[in-house]
Amino acid sequence: MRGGVTVGVYDDHVLPHLVDLVLGRPFEQTRARVAAELTGEVLEVGFGSGRNVPHYPSAVNRVLAVDPAAAGRKLAARRVAASPVPIEFVGLDGQDLPLADESVDHVLITWTLCTIPDVERALAEVRRVLRSGGSLHFVEHGRSPRSRIARWQDRITPTWGKVAGGCSLNRSIPDLIAGSGLTVTRLETYRMSGLELFGFMFEGAAVKGSQPTEAC
């Protein structure tokens, strides 16, 4: 859960270790699913500690990584070194991608949209750099469809964000993605047992220039 560019000591040096631990082994199968259809030139926004690296398919030619935290890149070093897929760090800020228009085949984002301050701008950047027919592959947590839980998410988010790197619990991920001009073609929603307040999940894909399919 990383995004944006202005980070302090806690966000840059402590939080990446916590995120690496919390979003570690229990989520490996999820990461594998989300990355399974990646090919060609891939941009990963919120690269973090490189937890997705072992799941890049062999059809990926290169990964361009964006993340603001120096500690995350240090944690990722061993995974990057072991990767058969070339990985290049190209920027710090998902809101301002240093890439040309229509320059990547796919974008991968995992548990990152919750922390980017201007998430609409970041998604507009994703759409800009995607080639026509390219797709965003994502898994995020966000706003519960149950009003009682959503109200609690609204109450807790201001305080939670201060200790969790700006993480917002109450963002409607599908609406944000659709609002960027991308077309959601696959969407699965599910809640983590006992953790819906923090763990209502949105997993799927969205394409630049396609028609929507039904959500699951």
Q: Give the model confidence (pLDDT) of 116-152 as tens digits.
A: 999 999 999 999 999 999 999 999 999 999 999 999 9
pLDDT in tens, 174-208: 999 999 999 999 999 999 866 788 889 999 999 99
Total tally of structural domains belonging to the chain:
1
Looking at residue 98, what is its pLDDT?
Answer: 95
Beta strands in 37-118 (DSSP E): 40-45, 60-66, 87-91, 104-110
Residue 106 lies in a domain: yes
Looking at residue 9, what is its pLDDT?
Answer: 54
* Cα–Cα distances in angstroms (integers) from residue 96 to residues 100, 116, 141, 194, in the given order: 11, 11, 23, 36
Say which DSSP state 201 is in: E
The range of the structural domain enclosing residue 44 comes to: 9-207
Looking at residue 33, what is its pLDDT?
Answer: 97
Residue 142 lies in a domain: yes
- Asked which of 25-29, 70-74, 151-155, 184-188 is least confident by mean pLDDT, the reply is 70-74
Residue 50 lies in a domain: yes
Looking at residue 69, what is its pLDDT?
Answer: 77
Looking at residue 50, what is its pLDDT?
Answer: 93
Residue 68 lies in a domain: yes
Residue 213 lies in a domain: no
Whole-model pTM?
0.88
- The CATH number given to whatever domain includes residue 26 is 3.40.50.150
